[in-house]
């Protein structure tokens, strides 16, 4: 499987106005708290990052690593 593909479910969530980070988190069945713990930050801090439509590259890279995906998959 190509590691840079974006699953249809993720695209569907984005069409329904989810940010790419939220769409991926929900696709991976993770809670905001799960991801925050992986990142070593608080849940409210992650919630703020998740709500940004175009996060900085460094932020995308950290979150992508927590998800086990490539940072480019958080861009559309």
Residue 3 belongs to a domain? no
Answer yes or no: is 37 within a domain: yes
Mean pLDDT of 45-70: 95
Predicted pLDDT of residue 49 = 96
**DSSP string covering 19-50:** -HHHHHHHHTT--HHHHHHHHTS-HHHHHHHH
d(CA 45, CA 69): 21
Domain encompassing residue 34: 8-74
On whether residue 1 sits in a domain, the answer given is no
Whether residue 71 contacts residue 64, with contact meaning beta carbons closer than 8 Å, is answered with yes
**The CATH number of the domain where 34 resides is what?**
1.10.260.40
The dihedral built from the CA positions of residue 35, 37, 69 and 71, taken in this order, carries a sign that is positive
Q: Is the pLDDT of residue 4 over 90?
A: no
pLDDT, tens digit, 9 for 90 and up, residues 14-39? 999 999 999 999 999 999 999 999 99
pLDDT at 1: 44
Asked if the structure places residue 2 within a domain, the reply is no
Domain count, the chain: 1
State pTM to two decimals: 0.91
């Amino acid at each position: 499987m190509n590691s840079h593909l974006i699953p249809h479910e993720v695209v569907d969530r984005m069409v329904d106005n989810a940010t790419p980070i939220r769409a991926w988190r929900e696709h991976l069945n993770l809670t905001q708290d799960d991801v925050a713990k992986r990142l070593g930050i608080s849940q409210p801090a992650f919630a703020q990052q998740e709500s940004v439509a175009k996060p900085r590259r460094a932020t995308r890279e950290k979150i992508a690593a927590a998800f086990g995906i490539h940072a480019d998959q958080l861009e559309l």
